[in-house]
Amino acid sequence: MTTISDVKKLIAPLLERHHDLALVNRKLIIKSVRHVLRFVCIDRRSDPFTFAADTAVNLSFLNFGGWSLSGGRMLYIPGRLWDTRDPESLQLLRDMIEFEALPELRAINTIDDFVAHRSNDPENSRYFFANLNCLAVIAIVKGDLDKAASILEAGLASGKQDCVPKYYPLLLARDQQGLLDFFRRQQLNSIAALKLESYFEPAPFPVELQGQPGARLHPGPA
């Protein structure tokens, strides 16, 4: 299996050239981390020398353990394996990360950017639009509690939503502040599980910016 030392050697030139990057275990993350997680994962294979590389895009206020690899794509060249013994292979991957993956990831700053990005999921794998909990959570943080409730109610009635989320009683009560507090706590838990505390910058949810022309609780993107 590739080691963390192997990953550091692979990524070192990118870290030197791009000050908005940081390596956290096997994740090459884009700083700063707010509502959208964006990173490249260098993953192990059973072979001791070859490895996989994937991009990932997700929302930090969802409930994660130590992993959040979804919403991205595999980085590969047909017929070639990424191999720690092959300098040409490593340089090809660095180039793919630097000139393809990073520009794509940097363009996804806000929750709306995330939704637009996931709207381009292939027709045969539209996992995002099948994830009713995620769609409901996005509606909540944007302030549309009725939409969130209708998404979950329809999903529960049809069996497409297989369990009642913990925040559901707050949603039924239309307790907007309680819901935002819930997702802030969940965000902090997810950031801790992913070991991203050093790079996390709290930001307001979209609903908190409504009715405040030009106002932001944080200067960066939400």
Q: For the sheet containing 50-59, what is the strand order?
A: 21-24, 27-30, 36-44, 50-59, 82-83
Neighbours of 216 (CB within 10 A): 13
Which residues in the chain come in under a pLDDT of 70?
Answer: 1, 66-67, 122-126, 211-222
pTM of the model: 0.88
C-beta of residue 85 within 8 angstroms of C-beta of residue 75: no
Tens digit of pLDDT for each residue in 37-68? 999 999 989 999 999 999 999 999 999 876 67
What pLDDT is stored for residue 217 in this prediction?
37
The sign of the CA dihedral 26, 28, 31, 37 is negative
The pLDDT assigned to 213 comes to: 46
Q: What are 44's two structure tokens?
A: 């192990």
For residue range 198-213, list pLDDT tens digits in order. Answer: 999 999 999 999 865 4
- How far apart (Å, rounded) are the C-alpha atoms in residues 219 and 201? 10
Report pLDDT for 124. Answer: 52
pLDDT at 125: 55
SS3 call for 155: helix
What is the reported pLDDT for 132? 93
